[in-house]
Amino acid sequence: MRTHEQIVQHQFDPRAEAYLGSAVHSAGPDLQYAKGLVQRTAARTDEALDIGCGAGHLAFALAPYLGRVVALDPSPGMLATVADGAAQRGLSRIEVRRGNAESLPFPDGAFPLVCTRYSSHHWRRLETAIQEMRRVLAPGGHALIIDTLGAEDALTDTYLQSTELLRDVSHVRNRSLREWRTLLQSAGLTEVEYRQWPTRLEFTSWVARMRTPEDRIAVIRGLQDVAPREVREALAIEADGSFTLGTGLFWLRAPT
């Protein structure tokens, strides 16, 4: 029986190139907004840690404004893709390192900027991971967290989390805005700014990216077919299975 960390690696190692080319991950208003925040705040001598870097889109976007970006991920396949992508883009300031969010291999206060994008819904102990982010963040430093959001409504959230898990067995949970704010406040991080955007997930590419088996795709579509009107409206479920959920961006600051 595999551990969750082994499942994550098994899921993402062979899919790194698919995530590199994913329209959802390689673009979006959240990525552009993050670039603007860092450009206005960071100095070229600053260092950043990108936790759960995936195929490297956030690291690629922020590296031109920073002195160094450490791209951290548990998947060797993802790290190889990031290293290749950085070399192709001439981004010599990016270095890759293997590790997980719940036990960061860095000393206290090591980074003035700690960030993560579209990764935290895979973290089994999110509270521990946020505490680790806080630990390695320099006094007065910034944290940037971007992820898809769970629904505040329990019925909608049940359908959303079930669909996510059927599509990707490494999924843990999309946290709601209320849950995020409670966790971040408990970690001692002050919310400086919050933004939210709708993110449409085109069904065919969404399941293809994770190579979801046909039997599980059928179950997802069956769940969508029987979903009550409130759920169908909240997730904007379309005839082909595509749906929309929220992406939240938190810009936070550590105490000085």
Q: What is the mean pLDDT of residues 69-77?
A: 93
Where does the pLDDT of residue 21 fall: very low under 50, low under 70, confident under 90, or very high at 90 and above? low
What confidence score (pLDDT) does residue 3 get? 81
What mean pLDDT, rounded, does the chain reach? 92
List domains and CATH numbers for the chain: 4-150+170-201+246-253 (3.40.50.150)
Q: Is 25 within 8 Å of 54 (Cβ atoms)?
A: yes
Q: How far apart are CA 22 and CA 52, in angstroms?
A: 16
Residue 147: pLDDT band by 50, 70, 90 thresholds? very high
Return the number of other C-beta atoms located less than 10 Å from residue 186's C-beta. 12
Question: Which band of pLDDT confidence, cut at 50, 70 and 90, is reported for residue 9?
Answer: low
The confidence score (pLDDT) of residue 33 equals: 96
Chain centroid offset of residue 99 CA: 15
Percent residues over pLDDT 90 in the chain: 84
Q: Which two tokens stand for residue 240?
A: 């082909």
Q: What digits encode the pLDDT tens for the residues 24-41?
A: 676 689 999 999 999 998
> How high is the pLDDT of residue 1?
79
**pLDDT tens-digit readout, 212-244:** 999 999 999 999 999 999 999 999 999 999 999
Query: Model confidence at 45, in pLDDT bands (50, 70, 90)?
Result: confident
Nearest to 146 by CA among 87, 197, 207, 209: 197
The residue ranking higher by pLDDT, 11 or 120, is: 120
Instruction: Report the C-alpha gap between 119 and 217 in whole angstroms.
Output: 22
Position 13 pLDDT exceeds 80:
no
User: What mean pLDDT is predicted for residues 164-187?
Assistant: 96
Residues in Cβ contact with 21 at an 8 Å cutoff, skipping those fewer than 6 apart: none
N- to C-terminal Cα separation, the chain:
45
